[in-house]
Structure 1
Amino acid sequence: MDLVLVLVIATVAIALFFDYTNGFHDAANAIATSVSTRALTPRIALTMAGILNFVGALLGVGVAKTIKDILSGFDNITAQSQSHALTVVLSALVGAIVWNLITWYFGIPSSSSHALIGGLIGVGLAAGVTVDWDKVVDKVAIPMVLSPALGFGGAFIIMTTIMWLFRRANPHTVNRGFRLSQTVSAAALSLGHGLQDAQKTMGVIVLALIAGGYHTSANDDIPLWVILSAAGAISLGTMSGGMRIMRTMGRRIIALDPPRGFAAESTAAIVLYGMAIGAHAPVSTTHTMTSAVMGAGATKRFSAVRWGVARGIITAWVITIPAAAAVGALTYVILRIFIPGN
């Protein structure tokens, strides 16, 4: 078996492992509020999220194509430079995985999406590969700011509307009704998570196939086996859980009641669908959902949100891309020493 084929197989395997870590890292985003309000048990919530993650991953490939095109010039790879191109993709994945595991261990709901994008940018700069900065600005930077703002503002407006509509209703009856409604909103959010996050892995796998000469940049299709394998990996990861981050999302930011949980989940789902289908932008499920939780919680009173915890989360948001970029670049420097052809 030649070196290029070995590197392609290794890169695809590591990409699917990243997808798996994305699943258990981000599982809490979709179900934490439903579990914390007791709308769903953890086991039922995780199973539902895993299944709908798989289904969501089959609904589009626009985000995958955006990820694939962040690094350009892969269509001019020669046979002699294939191993170097694959080292680039492999290093980006390692950078993203390391940051994912660090933030998972400390229970910080950072973005797997931005970890992957940071890894690609860092390795691209270290390896001298052209980074499509226009695409980074239009499809990453602007949506990175816009999606949390929409999440916070949308959840605040929806929850304010709920409070006005049900202002004379019995609180117990309202909570019971929205506890049932959260089953639907959590399902919608899980579907949106699959639609967004599984596609990011698809894009990296296709980039590895192009680097190895098994796919061409001119072919804009995503192979079916890539779609199914990425969908399966994120689904399995989600089913394996994410209780550390679930505690942060569900309780430490603010103790949500069912109406606020519904407002946060439904808002985040709408933002994820809109960004994936309308803009093909790889936005962060974590950023969007966390902001929506804050927005829904702020309707109780702004002091009800534990802004100290929120501040730590926002700090993680800010440093995720540069931190993953640094790890990816360091990985590239190390791997190129040991992989022939670099």
Structure 2
Amino acid sequence: MIELFSGLDAWVLISLLMALAFVLFFEFINGFHDTANAVATVIYTKAMPPHLAVLLSGFFNFLGVLLGGVGVAYAIVHLLPVELLINVNTGHGLAMVFSLLAAAIAWNLGTWYFGIPASSSHTLIGSILGVGMSNAMINGIPMSQGVNWQKAIDIGASLVFSPVAGFVVAGLMLLGFKRWRPLSKMHKTPDQRKKMDDKKHPPFWNRLVLVLSAMAVSFVHGSNDGQKGIGLIMLVLMGIVPGQFVLDLSTTTYQIERTRDATQHLSQFYERNHEQLGDFLALGKSSPGDLPSQSECNPQQTEPTIAALQNNLKGVSDYHSLSSEQRVEVRRYLLCLDDTAKKVGKLPALGDREKSDLDKLRKDLTVTTEYAPFWVIFAVALALGLGTMVGWKRVVLTIGEKIGKQGMTYAQGMSAQITTTLMIGLANVFSLPVSTTHVLSSGVAGSMIANKSGLQAGTVRNILVAWLLTLPACMALAAGLFWLASKALG
């Protein structure tokens, strides 16, 4: 890892280390801000002692990051338009990363201080959207192109759908528990259990399910939220030291051949569908000099881009053999071809089979650009795991006692945690970022309604206000900071 940073100017190295520290600090805050939700029910129901719960939760968050992959990481990265991602330079990268992180950290700390279960996912996504929109305004780009709005809509839909689904599924699950075992001790609160049975802990099987589901929530939280930190670090590395990180330098010869073959197959795919795609891609009409610029991608430059990429990769068996400038060029060509293929896949002229083939080619194109070094994954996992072990008390009380008018029963805790695990696990399958905070809080609220306990209007109002304000507040804050940073850089 050390050799990757050798030869950097002192100020670039210092800026890079500061940016990495900022990202890891964000993940540390994410740990004590969001993971309190993962252990809230298991601590409140006294299924586990608090310090053991947060210790194990930190460990399972750590494992979740290590084993979670990078699908969600690049879903976050690709909120920014491809034009912004290919325009890599040190000053721009620093301004972008510090602006969005400062906004996200400020909002996270504020909501944590007041014990409001707000979402780190919302803060980060809002900050990224703010930077993208601010960049569009500064450079005179249409706002429709300032952000990858289709990706933003997909992520927005997952952020809205997941808590609604959590509310409904947890409520239905609790009703199922009540129908299955209406007189079971699982329907007691910890206080009722203490008064009636003079016992501190839940019944054995309830306790086991509570513990296992809490650790499962921690694991899926790590695999989803940890990837957001991985995506941020990759933005930092590609923005500040692009020559070392725009391509995966550990790529094998087979993977490079796979990328090279994908470009050839992509060209053949476009030729086979010339009748439907000829005008959109200007097939047979472009000249060899029509290459994507440093700042934009144009579908009508597809043919010369494929030719240039094949020429750059000809005879290459190791990315180390390419110069830093060539690596940046190769990545730009790959991102532009992937972006164009994504647009082609949405054209109504193509059939479902063709669209499926195109999706497979896109995966082969991006196999060496959508990656993360192990040290990045490990650092994020460690920051998130350590952050889990502090600052959990404020949110535990909110989840356990302040959402419903009565305390949480064991069955409600199980319903909320199992539902949260299912919702986030499903989101991981589709590489979509979701909010552990809002899914779990909604699950608890759904179980309270199903249990006819009622909700505390004040707490629910605070959670909803935080949910509604987080995106626009972080967008505005990040946009303002990026605008100021860009002006300062000239």
TM tier, smaller = over 0.9
Instruction: Give the unaligned 5+ runs of structure 1.
Output: none
- 2:415 equivalent in structure 1: 263
Closer/same/farther in 2, CA of residues 165 and 92 from structure 1, 3 Å limit: same
Aligned mates of 1:253, 1:194 — CA distance in 2:
25
**Cα offset, 1:169, TM superposition:** 4.1
When Rg is computed on C-alpha atoms for both structures, the one with the higher figure is 2
**Residue in structure 1 matching 2:166, options 136, 143, 151:** 151
* Paired residues of 1:28 and 1:249 also in contact (CA < 8 A): no
1:131 aligns with 2:161: no
**Cα offset, 1:304, TM superposition:** 2.4
Q: Deviations over 1:16-71 (max 9, x none)?
A: 10000000101211011111111111101100110000001122211001011111
- Does 264-273 or 321-330 show the bigger shift? 321-330
Q: Secondary structure at the match of 1:262?
A: helix
Q: Deviations over 1:250-276 (max 9, x none)?
A: 211121111110110010011001001
Identity in percent: 37
Q: Secondary structure at the match of 2:394?
A: helix
Aligned mates of 1:221, 1:230 — CA distance in 2:
14
* Paired residues of 1:182 and 1:261 also in contact (CA < 8 A): yes
Normalization by structure 1: what TM-score? 0.93
**Cα offset, 1:7, TM superposition:** 2.7
Q: Secondary structure at the match of 1:222?
A: coil
Equivalent residues in 2 for 1:70-85, closer than 5 Å: 70-72=79-81, 73-77=83-87, 81-85=89-93
Aligned mates of 1:75, 1:43 — CA distance in 2:
42
Equivalent residues in 2 for 1:43-82, closer than 5 Å: 43-59=51-67, 60-72=69-81, 73-77=83-87, 81-82=89-90
Equivalent residues in 2 for 1:186-205, closer than 5 Å: 186-205=214-233
Q: Secondary structure at the match of 1:304?
A: coil
Aligned residue type for 1:195? S
- 1:298 equivalent in structure 2: 449
Instruction: Give the unaligned 5+ runs of structure 2.
Output: 1-8, 140-145, 187-192, 247-330, 335-368
For these two proteins, the number of residue pairs brought into alignment is 335
Aligned residue type for 2:214? A
**Cα offset, 1:180, TM superposition:** 2.7
Aligned residue type for 1:331? L
Q: Secondary structure at the match of 1:321?
A: helix
Aligned residue type for 2:74? K
Normalization by structure 2: what TM-score? 0.65
- 1:289 equivalent in structure 2: 440
Aligned mates of 1:109, 1:83 — CA distance in 2:
35
* Paired residues of 1:74 and 1:85 also in contact (CA < 8 A): no
Q: Deviations over 1:94-131 (max 9, x none)?
A: 10000001101111111001101111111221122831
Equivalent residues in 2 for 1:136-285, closer than 5 Å: 136-138=152-154, 140-169=155-184, 175-176=202-203, 177-212=205-240, 213=242, 214-216=244-246, 218=334, 219-254=369-404, 255-277=407-429, 279-285=430-436
* Paired residues of 1:107 and 1:248 also in contact (CA < 8 A): yes
Aligned mates of 1:168, 1:245 — CA distance in 2:
30
RMSD of equivalent CA atoms: 1.9
Aligned mates of 2:403, 2:41 — CA distance in 1:
11
**Residue in structure 2 matching 1:23, options 23, 31, 45:** 31
Closer/same/farther in 2, CA of residues 260 and 210 from structure 1, 3 Å limit: same
Closer/same/farther in 2, CA of residues 312 and 170 from structure 1, 3 Å limit: closer
